[in-house]
Structures are given as structure tokens and as C-alpha cells.
């Protein structure tokens, strides 16, 4: 049995901006290149080096308007856009980049939340919500099932996934835990389901909460998981339209 790689996404700054790709190269024990490569540490967050839990950072669960940010990577620059803000381009790690980003975020982040304190570089393993170098794999038919349950079409950007597969049955992705997938030239091992938060309630076009995704998951299927985390076990190029098979 085989499926099709339908979408590829990355998120250069954790919780802030999504970028759609046609193809990408994967490396062993690494996230997608430039996926969660940077994160905005909130005031009072852990200032240690390396991976840290998501509670330390600005993200859509705390400020739903962040879900409407789009991103585009061009060399060392990250271009950001939002329906309520002028476009911004920054080069993280250079002087003034963090302050420019914080000023840009201020009008779209709740004033009662901890403000940004630092723009931090992720470790080689990335800064996803999982404490390992994850690539998230999601299922388009599960998205359709959840959309039907809610009575509204859900944008895949709500779930901030990396790879979307088409052709599986709804929730069949959970059966892949402990198995390996070959997509294009790469091979991934599926590790565990992804538990979801309130970020998924926000509409990526408006940045406003308009869907009770967590309640619908719990009511319909008895859990709040959506998608699975995987790790790259063999590197290689992947592209939209590639066949995905279990090996």
C-alpha cells in the first residue's frame, strides 16, 4: 500500500509563521532545514542552551493572532507577513533583528502575556514541542474527518505540520507508530502521536479562535492527538507528489 506526499511546510520561527515548500532535503536525525530554527523566548522563560519546552516561548496557544503569520526564507533572511501588520524582513542573529521582530509582534500579541525577551537559535535538533529532532507527519483524511465533525473546513496550517499525506484512512497515521516510512529518497521512523493545544483553534487567515478543535477531537475520538512525530533515519530529497510507503 502506498500514499502520496501532498504538502510540505516549515516554520522558521517557532509559533510565528508558516512557509509552504515544493521540495526539501532531509538529513539523518535533523528536522526539516530551517524548521523551528529560531524561537522567541518570553520574559521569565528558561534562558538555558538547547531544547526547551514550548511553555517558554511565544506561540499560538497564548496569542492566537500569531497563527496568521506567514513566512518565507530567502538566504539568511526571514520574511514575515500578517493581515494586520506591514511586511517585515529580518536576519536573525544580526544586530537589531530581535528588537525589530519584537516591535512588529507587539500589536498582535496579548498585552497580558509575558513579552518577548530574546530571539534564540535552536539546537541542531530543532525546537519543536518534542524533545528530539522531529518531522511531523499528518493525514489529510483525518483533517477532513475533523472538519466534518466541526462543520467547517479546517486549514492545515492550524496544525503546523511538516509533511501531509494523502490516501490513508482517517487516523491511520496512528497505526504507523513504531513503523518506518519511505518518502522519495528519505526514510523516517514514526515515533509517537502529537498531542494538541489551543493553537489549533485559531484561524490562520484571521488569527482569531473560531473552531473548538480540542473539544471535537475529544468528543469524536476520545483523544486530543493529531498527527505523529517521526525522525529521519535515512536522508534524501523529498518533493510534493512523491510516493510514501511503509517499509
Interval 53-80: pLDDT, tens: 999 999 999 999 999 999 999 999 999 9
CA 129 to chain centre: 9
- Average pLDDT of span 185-205: 98
Residue 176 has pLDDT above 90, yes or no: yes
- Average pLDDT of span 149-158: 98
CB 51 within 8 A of CB 125: yes
Average of per-residue pLDDT values in the chain: 98
d(CA 59, CA 198): 10
Question: Given this model, what pLDDT does residue 19 score?
Answer: 98
CB 119 within 8 A of CB 16: no
Q: What three-state secondary structure class fits 245? A: strand
Question: Given this model, what pLDDT does residue 135 score?
Answer: 98
CB 127 within 8 A of CB 14: yes
Name the fold adopted by 2-31+129-246.
M1 Pyruvate Kinase; Domain 3 (2.40.33)
Question: Given this model, what pLDDT does residue 86 score?
Answer: 98
CA-based angle 181:186:75, to the nearest 5?
A: 130
Question: Given this model, what pLDDT does residue 70 score?
Answer: 98
Supply 226's cell numbers. Answer: 493529531
CA 58 to chain centre: 14
Distances (CA, A) of 47 to 50, 58, 115, 125, 221: 9, 14, 14, 17, 38
Supply 7's cell numbers. Answer: 504538502
d(CA 18, CA 9): 7
Enumerate the β-bridge partners of residue 181.
188, 246
- Average pLDDT of span 126-149: 98
CATH 2.40.33.20 domain locations along the chain: 2-31+129-246
Residues with Cβ < 8 Å from 222, sequence gap 6 or more? none
Supply 191's cell numbers. Answer: 515515533
Question: Given this model, what pLDDT does residue 2 score?
Answer: 92
pLDDT class of 246 with cuts at 50, 70, 90:
very high
Tally: H helices and E strands in the chain: 3, 15
- Average pLDDT of span 114-125: 97
Residue 1 has pLDDT above 90, yes or no: no
Question: Given this model, what pLDDT does residue 233 score?
Answer: 98
Residue 213 has pLDDT above 90, yes or no: yes
Question: Given this model, what pLDDT does residue 209 score?
Answer: 98
- Average pLDDT of span 100-107: 98
Distances (CA, A) of 100 to 41, 94, 205: 15, 11, 23
pTM: 0.97
Element (H, E) at 71: strand 70-74
Amino acid at each position: 500500500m502506498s500514499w502520496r506526499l501532498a504538502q510540505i511546510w516549515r516554520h522558521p520561527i517557532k509559533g510565528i509563521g508558516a512557509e509552504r515548500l515544493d521540495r526539501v532535503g532531509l538529513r539523518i536525525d535533523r528536522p526539516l532545514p530551517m524548521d523551528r530554527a529560531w524561537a522567541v523566548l518570553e520574559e521569565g522563560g528558561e534562558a538555558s542552551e538547547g531544547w526547551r519546552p514550548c511553555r517558554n516561548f511565544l506561540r499560538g496557544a497564548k496569542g492566537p493572532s500569531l497563527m496568521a503569520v506567514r513566512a518565507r526564507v530567502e538566504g539568511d533572511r526571514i520574511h514575515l507577513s500578517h493581515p494586520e501588520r506591514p511586511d517585515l524582513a529580518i536576519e536573525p542573529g544580526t544586530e537589531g533583528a530581535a528588537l525589530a521582530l519584537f516591535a512588529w509582534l507587539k500589536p498582535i500579541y496579548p498585552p497580558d502575556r509575558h513579552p518577548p525577551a530574546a530571539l534564540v537559535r535552536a539546537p541542531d535538533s530543532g525546537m519543536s514541542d518534542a524533545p528530539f529532532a522531529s518531522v511531523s507527519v499528518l493525514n489529510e483524511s483525518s483533517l477532513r474527518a475533523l472538519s466534518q465533525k466541526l462543520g467547517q473546513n479546517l486549514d492545515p496550517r492550524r496544525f503546523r505540520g511538516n509533511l501531509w499525506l494523502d490516501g490513508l484512512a482517517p487516523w491511520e497515521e496512528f497505526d504507523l507508530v513504531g513503523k518506518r516510512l519511505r518518502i522519495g529518497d528519505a526514510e523516517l521512523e514514526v515515533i509517537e502521536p502529537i498531542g494538541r493545544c489551543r493553537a489549533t483553534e485559531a484561524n490562520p487567515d484571521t488569527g482569531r479562535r473560531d473552531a473548538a478543535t480540542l473539544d471535537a477531537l475529544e468528543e469524536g475520538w476520545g483523544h486530543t492527538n493529531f498527527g505523529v512525530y517521526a525522525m529521519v533515519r535515512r536522508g534524501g530529497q523529498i518533493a510534493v507528489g512523491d510516493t510514501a510507503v511503509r517499509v
